[in-house]
Structure 1
């Protein structure tokens, strides 16, 4: 039910915003009637220097050169999304989990990672899920790292932002692992945060430590999960998250 509530909360926010706009329109209807009887006021000039592309007019028959990958992130994200995954660190060994097929991950396989897969499948479909890729590696004695990049189609729903916010929204209340953990900002992301979970302990087993980072840039959502039987430092998860965000 957590995933369902997070998604509905996002929708409710949009509905409240829409209702507020309708309230303003209804309240100013009389003002528009008065304005209709007056002479029109000339509009200011819309053109502003320095915001056009290209900066100077081109001769007839010529077109502007396309923006480079540095200037237009869509040039990168519309290509092979797997190439944007951060590489494993030196000494780590690549893992081959069954949820990855040559680096790609299907919608149904990605949805299975959530408590209510059918609900998440519907939410992601509605928000314009396009494709997902992942990477997994092991490091040291018992550390495992999984990285997901989830891309959404261009839409008014802003799927990557909605999905990332939905995941971040419940983290401080996750009693199983991270109760009260509001996370720390990921430098350079503008919206991302990383979290250290409290360890999970069971009799007869080594403690399980977990760290997670969530961010989005444009139409791509980033989700990084790190597991270990020893404490995970903030530096480890923060550095990895920053490296991944920089590649988008």
Structure 2
């Protein structure tokens, strides 16, 4: 006979259900199983590393070598293509006398010998930066950009008309120093504080070159001052043209000079 349960009413005997199963606490058992799993994984990894360390190094697969894209033998003399003519090979032109690429002096203009910064068609970098507000900064900036040389021309017309052309050449290679220098100047030109205050006009034949005509500078007691400028680049040469006069400067004047200079680069 089954023993009475503690919670059975007085005078009654409760028989346990033979189908019932007593539930055991899960906390300790789950912890033991998890610990065993971690030990198993750690031990397996350690054994695997040990086995791998004991094996001899496996040599890498051989690199594939595609077939050569050029002939194994040099072409015969009668089949070698002719080199580009100088008129089409820009590298030949720009590596030569850079002064020869300066735009010719327009009719009505004469050489301005009073501008001592230009010597025999050349201008030192230290003299070129004198035209910028922050000379020291620009000098260091150009040296970092691998500036190579500056060819320049200075002209005058009438009593107050002056023109200045500069070709700033940078070292050839993967850098884009000429394009960067031109872009920096164009960004300045579109400003309202010291620049022309407008976006200028595109130069025909140039992807990004532009020319600008400033508003007249009027000061009491002084004659009005008119200025125009063109900034563009081609290859490793950045070109800029500046016109100054006490009379208005037309867009045609600066545009024509810029287009002629671009054709020579």
Does the alignment reach a TM-score above 0.5?
yes
- What's the CA shift for 1:46? 11
Structure 1: where are the runs of 5+ without partners?
1-44
* 1:222-248 Cα shifts (integer Å, max 9, x gaps): 000000111111111000100000000
1:199-218 correspondence to structure 2 within 5 Å: 199-218=216-235
1:116 corresponds to 2:116: no
1:4-153 correspondence to structure 2 within 5 Å: 58-59=75-76, 64-96=81-113, 97-153=115-171
RMSD value, Cα = 2.4
Partner Cα separation in structure 1 for residue 122 and residue 227 of structure 2: 24
- What's the CA shift for 1:71? 2.1
TM norm structure 2: 0.69
- What's the CA shift for 1:141? 4.0
- What's the CA shift for 1:72? 1.3
Contact 1:177–1:200, Cα closer than 8 Å, also in 2 = no
Contact 1:215–1:222, Cα closer than 8 Å, also in 2 = yes
Moved over 3 A (4+): 60-65
1:228 corresponds to 2:248: no
Rg larger in structure: 2
* 1:196-225 Cα shifts (integer Å, max 9, x gaps): 111111111110000000000001000000
1:187 corresponds to 2:204: yes
- What's the CA shift for 1:60? 6.4
Contact 2:129–2:139, Cα closer than 8 Å, also in 1 = yes
Structure 2: where are the runs of 5+ without partners?
1-66
Q: How many residues align?
A: 197
TM norm structure 1: 0.74
Partner Cα separation in structure 2 for residue 68 and residue 162 of structure 1: 29
Using CA pairs below 8 Å that are at least 6 residues apart, which structure has the higher relative contact order?
1
